[in-house]
Structure 1
């Protein structure tokens, strides 16, 4: 099966072991998170609002360990999906 027409977005990529990618397949959004701590995790969302709700929980400002600029860049990348 060809993946033509699917849009891929990189939310962040620190190295080959720490990254998050999003693939849009119509109304279905597949998010893949790869970390050196937890391995690979996939999440499937039906629509952008569901993904954005997840992103706001996953990257809550209170628990985010990076800089404010990093948080802003991640949230901007999500909003551009």
Structure 2
């Protein structure tokens, strides 16, 4: 059984989801600038390390609340 988690969805072209395939986590990031990017992780700590570098708080283009909600959503996966 695959569980799908929506991390954020701004519109049909800007979203991030995580699908749980047993022990594997498949993160899909869809952007109107970059298209679709997919990452496969074998553990939640590995995914969170990626997220910390991808959503570097000092370079994040958004509010602190947006950054925190993305991180909280990823932690709940």
Q: Which runs of 5+ in 2 are unaligned?
A: none
1:80 aligned residue: 76
C-alpha distance in 1, partners of 2:2/2:35?
A: 24
Write out aligned runs for 1:10-21 (5 A). Answer: 10-21=6-17
1:48 aligned residue: 44
Q: Which runs of 5+ in 1 are unaligned?
A: none
Return structure 1 stretches of 4+ with deviation > 2 angstroms. Answer: none
Aligned residues: 77
How far has the Cα of 1:27 moved from its partner?
A: 1.0
CA offsets 1:59-80 (integer angstroms, 9 cap, x no match): 0101101000000100000000
Write out aligned runs for 1:1-16 (5 A). Answer: 5-16=1-12
1:66 aligned residue: 62
